[in-house]
Amino acid sequence: MKGDEMTKVAIVEFNGDVSESMQKALHLLGGIGELNKPERDVTIKVGVFYPRSQQYSSVEVVGSIIEGFSESPKIYLAESDNYQATGSERLQLWKALFTERVIPFNLSEDTDTRIVRIAKDEGDLSVELSHILFKPNVFVSTHVLRTFQHGMVLKNLFGLPPAKQKRQYHKREIFRSIFSDLFEAIGGIDLSVIDGTHLYWKYGNLRVPMNILIVGRDAVAVETVGVTLAGFKPEKLVILQEFVKRGLGEGDIENIEIVGLHFEEIKARAKAALKELKAIVAAAPKPWSPREAVDGLIRNGFFRPPHRRTREEIEAALAEQDKRSKGRWSVIYTTLMRRIKKGKLNRTKEPEGWVYWTE
């Protein structure tokens, strides 16, 4: 909301019954009557990049969102393909919620699409987006509370384009604006829910319990509250500030009316959780990094002529260094392609397949 009117974000606690807490949050916001109607379907964009990390809204939280839309004829749980797995495969995480009314929907398989233009200042890219993302459908974004500078419910929009590989959107200026471009293209986010069951570290499954829900109609305000609790200064986050610059929501924490739990109390709890999380991270084994592993091979001359390394040789060399690299070819391949783009590696196709080498 704009002007002097305060934007409401509800923060509620739960200790078992998530549905009751969600109902309380929606009530504190004044209800969602204009969204919960028999003539409006609902699309819930769940955020799940890598299922093993467990950084995605729980079955209970997504189920409580579904219960809030009791009048809606159809509810789509939506995700697109990525290089980890297909959208359909990752949506199986919420299989317990599927019914004739609650439908898993792979955005990458939809043939009923609409072409939209994004990144107009950077070459004007065309993207085909699924018909279920547009109004009059209600669009809901849900993700977890995490210490990730690119965000939560707004970053979740990155899963709307159907392409399995989304490298073309990682160019600096495109990446800064693609989220707000997509937001405007679909007509905005109608309801945002941050699942604060845990505060997660930005990578992996390191987490500390919080047991809160952060819910609001203004997605930018919800994101602002979430990143503040995760230890960030909203004014320093480029993606969030792009939304603010375009007037797409409230990014000043002082202009957000937080209802439910007292914000200073929750900030103190989040600060303690963040301190505990950092201690866990400091004590944990260093996570395996495909970037460091591949760069190590390059530095050690693994790719130098006369060697031209095959996929099998690369996988074997990395597994010898660290067994955690096994089964991770997709991220290894992405790293190799980035090194090729930077001129650190070359590749060509030979009879035995693609090979990689340095000059």
- Which residues sit opposite 256 in a β-bridge? 7
Same domain assignment for residues 93 and 161: yes
Name the domain count of the chain: 2
Q: Is residue 2 part of a domain?
A: no
Q: 98 with 175, same domain?
A: yes
The whole-number pLDDT of residue 154 equals 97
Contact 238, 176 (CB under 8 A): yes
Residue 83 exposed, middle or buried by CB count within 10 Å (0-12, 13-18, 19+)? middle
Report the candidate in 49, 75, 72, 57 with the shortest Cα–Cα distance to residue 18: 57
CATH number, domain of 39, equals 3.40.50
DSSP for residue 32: -
Same domain, 297 and 250: no
User: Do 208 and 316 fall into the same domain?
Assistant: no
- 31 inside domain: yes
Tell me the mean pLDDT in the region 277-305: 92
Residues 242 and 305 in one domain: no
> Pick the residue with more confidence: 204 or 297?
297
Tell me how far apart the terminal alpha carbons of the chain are, to the nearest angstrom. Answer: 56
Q: Do residues 167 and 91 share a domain?
A: yes
* Tens-place pLDDT, residues 189-248: 999 999 999 999 988 789 999 999 999 999 999 999 999 999 999 999 999 999 999 999
Which residue is listed with tokens 């090979």? Answer: 355
Position 167 in a domain: yes
Q: Can you give the pLDDT at residue 163?
A: 82
**Backbone dihedral angles phi then psi of residue 352, each to the nearest 5 degrees:** -85, 0
Q: In whole angstroms, how far apart are CA 329 and each of 291, 334, 336, 354? A: 12, 8, 10, 14
276 and 129 in a common domain: yes
The answer, yes or no, to whether residue 93 has pLDDT greater than 80, is yes
Contact indicator for 46, 56 with CB cutoff of 8 Å? yes
Same-domain pairing of 194 and 329: no
What's the pLDDT score for residue 83? 84
Can you tell me the mean pLDDT for 48-52? 85
- Tens-digit pLDDT profile for residues 124-137: 788 999 999 999 99
Query: By the 8 A CB rule, do 14 and 211 touch?
Result: yes
End position of a domain, from candidates 263, 281, 299: 281
Same domain, 303 and 262: no
Give the separation between CA 237 and CA 89, rounded to whole angstroms: 32
- The answer to whether the beta carbons of residues 81 and 94 sit under 8 Å apart is no
CATH number of the domain within which 317 lies: 1.10.10
Establish if 12 belongs to a structural domain.
yes
Do 225 and 208 belong together in one domain?
yes
Q: How confident is the model at residue 121 (pLDDT cuts 50, 70, 90)?
A: low
Higher pLDDT, 303 or 121: 303
The pLDDT assigned to 294 comes to 97
Mean pLDDT of 80-85: 89
* Residue ending a domain, choose from 281, 306, 338: 281
Please tell me what DSSP assigns to residue 297: H
Distances (CA, A) of 357 to 68, 78, 347: 55, 40, 6
Do 192 and 154 fall into the same domain? yes
Same-domain pairing of 46 and 84:
yes
**Quick check: is 1 in a domain?**
no
Residue after which a domain boundary falls, among 247, 281, 315? 281
Which structural domain range is residue 67 located in? 7-281
Q: Closest by alpha carbon to 30, among 1, 62, 73, 72? A: 1
